[in-house]
Amino acid sequence: MTGLGNQRYQARIGTTPEDRVAAQRLRARAFLGEADGLDCDRFDEICTHVLIEETGSGALVCCFRMLMLNGGAEIAQSYSAQFYDLSALAGFEGKMAEMGRFCIAPGRLDPDILRVAWAAMTRFVDDNGVEMLFGCSSFHGTKTETYLDAFAMLRERHLAPRRWWPQVKAPAVFRFAERLRRHKPDLKLAMRHMPPLLRTYLMMGGWVSDHAVIDRHLNTLHVFTGVEIGAIPATRKRLLRALAG
């Protein structure tokens, strides 16, 4: 992945314990609002960490981690499986990758950061023969009222195929598909409140669970999200691979 990026930002694989700590520190700032803390868990040891750095200063502006699975039979080993019953995905036969802990440094609004991050993700998927990308897509905060139009839009257009349907497992959830059956979404408001990462997943043909998990530790609402690589529209694939070089 060396050399992947543009004049302002470069992506690379973390190779040292210091790289991992830098990612954990950025995650603590982004998710927990802690300037000096670390966000870490047991999955950090088994994941590949991708770092997006500012070319001139070397400052870490974005990071995420990827967990490779040989197929759906290993889905219970994923981070997401702590929060969702993913037994329906056990039958998926191709290689899978879980993209997690995606965050951008607070105050960094440059869309090029997200472009370089998706280029890095695309390179990882292609290099490893991944056939399904999945993870938890997070909305900031745990109050559902702000996101009703976004959730109603997800219910109307982007629910998971029945064969892969994630079931409820977490103790605290918002069952938006059931609760918002009569809510007609305002599409402008829906897109305004849709997290950028999830918005990109949806443009790739991604789908979501019918409920959101209320994660008070990270102060987020998150939905399980899957993207079958073979179902990504051809024009979107060409654009992503052009970014990945």
Q: 229 is written with which tokens?
A: 């690589």
- Residue 163 lies inside a defined structural domain of this protein: yes
pLDDT at 178 over 70: yes
d(CA 108, CA 71): 35
Higher pLDDT, 22 or 35: 22
d(CA 243, CA 245): 5
Q: Please state the domain count of the chain.
A: 1
- Residue 179 lies inside a defined structural domain of this protein: yes
d(CA 180, CA 72): 31
- Alpha carbon of residue 51 to chain centroid: 15
d(CA 233, CA 62): 26
User: For residues 43 and 53, is the Cβ–Cβ distance under 8 A?
Assistant: no
pLDDT average, residue stretch 71-91: 98
SS3 category, 141: coil
d(CA 239, CA 86): 31
- Residue 175 lies inside a defined structural domain of this protein: yes
Res. 84 pLDDT band, cuts 50 70 90: very high
Residue 161 lies in domain = 64-244
Percent of the chain clearing pLDDT 90 (strictly above): 89
pLDDT at 10 over 90: yes
- Residue 141 lies inside a defined structural domain of this protein: yes
pLDDT average, residue stretch 92-111: 95
- Residue 33 lies inside a defined structural domain of this protein: no
- Residue 21 lies inside a defined structural domain of this protein: no
pLDDT at 124 over 80: yes
Res. 2 pLDDT band, cuts 50 70 90: low
- Residue 16 lies inside a defined structural domain of this protein: no
pLDDT average, residue stretch 100-117: 93
- Residue 79 lies inside a defined structural domain of this protein: yes
Please provide the average confidence, as pLDDT, over all residues in the chain: 95
pTM, entire model: 0.93
SS3 category, 61: strand
From the list 8, 196, 238, the residue with the least C-alpha distance to 102 is: 196
pLDDT average, residue stretch 161-173: 97
pLDDT average, residue stretch 196-219: 95
SS3 category, 232: coil
pLDDT average, residue stretch 174-190: 97
User: For residues 69 and 96, is the Cβ–Cβ distance under 8 A?
Assistant: yes
